[in-house]
Amino acid sequence: MINVVKTWEQLEGLQPTVLKMFKNSFLKNRVAHAYLLEGIRGTGKREIALLITKALFCDSPIEGYKPCENCSNCRRINSGNHPDVHIVEPDGASIKVNQIRELQAEFSKKGVESARKIYLLVHADKMSGSAANSLLKFLEEPNSQTVAFLLTEQPQQLLPTILSRCQILSFQPLSPQAMIQHLTENGVNPMKAPLLAQLTNSLDEAYQLNGDDWFAQAQKIVLKLYEVLKKNPLEAMVTLQGDWFSHFKEKEQINRGLDLLLLIIKDLLYIQLDKQEQMVFKAEIERLKPFALQTSGRRLSEQMSAILEAKRKLAANMNPQLMMEELVLNLQEGSSFV
């Protein structure tokens, strides 16, 4: 994970609609008492909640709404020890009623340094029933200076009575372009970012994959399998039994392997179409080029269909061993005629 504090502009690149709305409410001085930030993992919910928290506490916000990042309020929020900012996360599997009660007790006191107090409820959908009822009372009697940010990936799990008291902000999944830009700005190798952006639209997952040894090894094995398939079809079964099955064990892992294989074939199509800039295995261009030149676009489309079919069979719980053997045969079939 990265701990770099992102600027308003960087986060605006991720969620332009959400930040435009906050900008307007700051400038019109109409900040709500409770916001629900909903969207899949890695869309910037927590970072944006903290950005807005800083903007609300900042001693000298830039242009009236962007946190300066330099005053003592901004700095203490960045380091996680501002006395009037509270972050509540699930304690184990759920957010428990006593966590909400502690929060209420805290908020019934005066702010340590100002009247303003802000809390973030991370994974708000994980509140126990009694925690949710307790929070509801809290939301029904808002203190004028209190702002709540409820963060969730599963808004449908929240009580409608809670939802109705929040201003709901939907966080959009990131476009591959926005992902690539964000990843490379934060130190991910530009040769690797396009692949990550194809596999996930969650930044968290992309960073995690980027540092994952299993994933690095997975790419090598998938490339090797494809190479062996083309060079020496008999060896493909050996590679499958050896390298492949010792690395791709769980269903989820096998699925990831099939996605990588699919992306290799897409890259070959891009090479054939002279659109190398669209490739995701950018570092492997010299290795993939000869394959692209040896095969036809029609054959590549057939191979893509075979992989998609294998993914469907995997999802339908076909035995992975049989599914992969069948796939390798299908990928080879006809390869001597192209």
CA 303 to chain centre: 29
**Nearest-approach distance from CB 74 to Zn ion, in angstroms:** 3
Residue of 214, 222, 215 whose CA lies nearest to 200: 215
Residue placing its CB nearer to Zn ion in the complex, 44 or 67: 67
Residue placing its CB nearer to Zn ion in the complex, 56 or 288: 56
**Nearest-approach distance from CB 21 to Zn ion, in angstroms:** 21
Residue placing its CB nearer to Zn ion in the complex, 14 or 58: 58
Tokens 């909400």 sit at which residue? Answer: 100
Q: Does 71 bind Zn ion (CB under 5 A)?
A: yes
**How many residues in total does the chain contain?**
338
Of the candidate spans 61-69, 115-123, 258-266, 326-334, the one that interacts with Zn ion by CB under 5 A turns out to be 61-69
Of the candidate spans 70-78, 170-178, 186-194, 308-316, the one that interacts with Zn ion by CB under 5 A turns out to be 70-78
**Nearest-approach distance from CB 30 to Zn ion, in angstroms:** 21
In whole angstroms, what is the distance from residue 268 CA to residue 290 CA? 9
H/E stretch holding 50 reads: helix 45-57
List 68, 159, 304, 318, residue binding Zn ion (CB under 5 A)? 68
30-59 binders of Zn ion (CB under 5 A): 58
Q: Which residues pair with 136 in a beta bridge?
A: none
Distances (CA, A) of 34 to 97, 138, 142, 204, 226: 19, 11, 9, 25, 52
**Nearest-approach distance from CB 170 to Zn ion, in angstroms:** 28
The pair of three-digit structure tokens given for residue 167, joined into one six-digit string: 């201003």
List 74, 127, 236, 268, residue binding Zn ion (CB under 5 A)? 74
Residue placing its CB nearer to Zn ion in the complex, 67 or 194: 67
**Nearest-approach distance from CB 169 to Zn ion, in angstroms:** 23
The pair of three-digit structure tokens given for residue 180, joined into one six-digit string: 């690539």
Residue placing its CB nearer to Zn ion in the complex, 68 or 223: 68
The pair of three-digit structure tokens given for residue 121, joined into one six-digit string: 């409820």
The pair of three-digit structure tokens given for residue 192, joined into one six-digit string: 């690797």
Residue placing its CB nearer to Zn ion in the complex, 58 or 178: 58
- The site that binds Zn ion (CB under 5 A) totals a number of residues, namely 5
**Nearest-approach distance from CB 45 to Zn ion, in angstroms:** 21
DSSP-derived secondary structure letter, 141: S
Residue of 68, 96, 97, 72 whose CA lies nearest to 84: 72
Q: Which residues bind Zn ion (CB under 5 A)?
A: 58, 67-68, 71, 74
